[in-house]
Amino acid sequence: MNTLEKKNLSQEISLYTFAKYKPDEILKKMKGYGVPIPDDIPIKRQQITKILQQQEDQILQAIQKAEQIRPLMVPSAPPTTITQTTTAPAQPVKPRKIFISHSKKDLVYVQQIINVLEKVGIESHQIFCSSYVGYGTPLGSDYLKVLKEELQGDTLVLFVLSQHFFDSKICLCEMGATWILTQKHIPIYIPPFTPENVGGVLPTTQGMQINKKRQLIILKERLEKEFEIQKQISFMKWDRQIDDSLRVINEALKQALL
């Protein structure tokens, strides 16, 4: 296992375990796998990742097998060339697509997110969502291969987070892949799920509640800036779309509690 492969696998393992287990459970699991975790360090994902990178390949592979963590498809870096010319500093990469990572059990919420995105001005071909025809993987195609192609540095990822998401191994695989292959992420929490339930998987990423109008407005403003949308809809049309989507979302939340 080369350095990059070891780094990626360590990140996969830490993402998966922090998504699935509580800190005390992670400590017990790691010690059970023979990974020495000092008692005086905080159980945070970054710390666990560093410790995992220091372990033998066999230990990491044993954890991967025992936890049934599917390997990621990480694109190889292009060959570097030496040039004498001076180039300008790289500009921040603007996203060209949005990938919605979600559980299929949360489709009613995802549909409303798509409605909001398209009302903002995001085109359907800019949205990748595996659960909907026209937005996801073509029939007969290799899902992981398509996911690798879609998840480039210029993709903005919307994580639609719920207990359904963290109960799904496919969703956790997606989360690991997007964390490595993309740079911009927005967690969207479905109540009663909150950032505290995530367990440190996205510790520095500001998220939003799916049923908060003010936060949806902030999302709209960010998307208009990120995608450089010139033709913006009127406030009345936007406000009507938000209210319509919130009615559907709140009704679904109410039904989920019955």
Q: Which DSSP string corresponds to 143-190?
A: HHHHHHHH--TTEEEEEEESHHHHT-HHHHHHHHHHHHH-SEEEEEE-
Q: pLDDT tier at 137 (50, 70, 90 boundaries)?
A: low
Region of residue 239 (left: phi > 0; alpha: psi -120 to 50; beta: else): alpha
pLDDT per residue as tens digits for the range 233-247: 787 888 899 999 999
Q: Which residue has the higher pLDDT, 36 or 203?
A: 36
pLDDT per residue as tens digits for the range 144-187: 666 666 676 688 999 999 999 988 888 887 787 777 777 788 99
DSSP assignment of 70-132 equals PPP-PPPPPPP----S--PPPPPPPP-EEEEE--GGGHHHHHHHHHHHHHHT--GGGEE-TTS
Closest CA to 12 of 80, 73, 54, 92: 73
CA 241: distance to chain centroid? 25
Sign for the CA dihedral angle at 108, 110, 113, 117 comes to negative
Using a cut of 0.75, tell me whether the model's pTM lies above it. no
> In whole angstroms, what is the distance from residue 60 CA to residue 6 CA?
8
Q: Which residue has the higher pLDDT, 136 or 96?
A: 96
CA 245: distance to chain centroid? 22
Cβ proximity of 115 and 238 under 8 Å: no
| 44 HSE (CA, 13 A, CB side) | 8
Q: What pLDDT is attached to residue 64?
A: 86
Closest CA to 9 of 46, 87, 63: 63
Within 8 A by CB and 6+ apart from 89, the residues are none
Cβ proximity of 158 and 100 under 8 Å: yes
Cβ proximity of 30 and 10 under 8 Å: no
